[in-house]
Amino acid sequence: MAEMSDYCPICGGNISDGSATFTADLGSGMVVVRHVPARVCQQCGEDWIEDTVAAHLEKIVTDARVGGKIVEVVDLLAA
């Protein structure tokens, strides 16, 4: 994972705290996680998710894969 900084490595824009939508294609299904806390570039919209959050997302993806759902939508604000 790239190191966190205040400037976007892609466009050089300012990065600040925000939220992102995470999607994972499982092949047989899909997982969508909304309102994921992330660092978001104000200029190009690129987002970076911290390791602790990424680990949480990984668990959601694993659970969805085991559950065998076609589409799983999780909203972290509602969780």
- What residues have CB less than 8 Å from 47, skipping those under 6 apart? 18, 20, 38, 39, 40, 41
Q: Is 8 in the site for Zn ion (CB under 5 A)?
A: yes
Chain positions 17 to 46 lying near Zn ion, rule: CB under 5 A, are 41, 43-44, 46
Q: Which is nearer to Zn ion, 13 or 37 (CB)?
A: 13
- What residues have CB less than 8 Å from 63, skipping those under 6 apart? none
Q: Is 73 in the site for Zn ion (CB under 5 A)?
A: no
Q: Is 13 in the site for Zn ion (CB under 5 A)?
A: yes
Minimum gap (Å) between residue 39 Cβ and Zn ion: 11
Angle at 77 between CA 46 and CA 61, to 5 degrees: 70
Residues that bind Zn ion (CB under 5 A): 8, 10-11, 13, 41, 43-44, 46
